[in-house]
């Protein structure tokens, strides 16, 4: 839909290997203190939820594992996307 396929949205040779290993049973409480963002608040602060990312890969490298941020600043890259060629022309 966003013109990024097959670079994004599939596990295949030549794709970016952006993968999340999800634990659907893990329970946790949302808090700005445990999120990896540049803000000190969350509108969902204190909500108890089920399901959490166990491990996150970006470009084939582990960037988050068991709640710890392992990524490096500046490691992301801008990807210019094609115009959507679907129903909203």
Whether 85 is in a domain gets the answer no
Which of 56, 57, 48 has its CA nearest to residue 26? 48
Average pLDDT, the chain: 87
**pLDDT 10s digits, 6-48:** 888 889 998 998 999 999 999 999 999 888 778 888 999 999 9
* CATH number for the domain that contains residue 45: 2.30.40.10
pLDDT above 90: residue 89: no
Whether 45 is in a domain gets the answer yes
Whether 31 is in a domain gets the answer yes
Cis peptide bond prior to 6, omega within 30° of 0: yes
The parent domain of residue 50 ranges over 19-67
For the residues of 47-71, what is the DSSP string, one character each? -EEEEEEEEEEETTEEEEETTEE--
User: DSSP E strands: which ranges in the chain?
Assistant: 19-29, 48-58, 61-65, 68-69
For the chain, how many structural domains are there in total?
Answer: 1
């Amino acid at each position: 839909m966003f013109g990024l396929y097959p670079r994004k949205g599939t596990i295949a040779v030549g794709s970016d290997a952006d993968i999340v290993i999800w634990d659907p049973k893990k329970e946790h409480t949302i808090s700005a203190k445990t999120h990896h963002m540049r803000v000190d608040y969350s509108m969902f602060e204190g909500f108890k939820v089920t399901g959490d990312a166990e491990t996150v890969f970006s470009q084939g490298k582990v960037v988050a594992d068991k709640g710890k941020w392992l990524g490096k600043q500046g490691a992301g890259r801008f990807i210019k996307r094609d115009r959507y060629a679907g129903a909203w022309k």
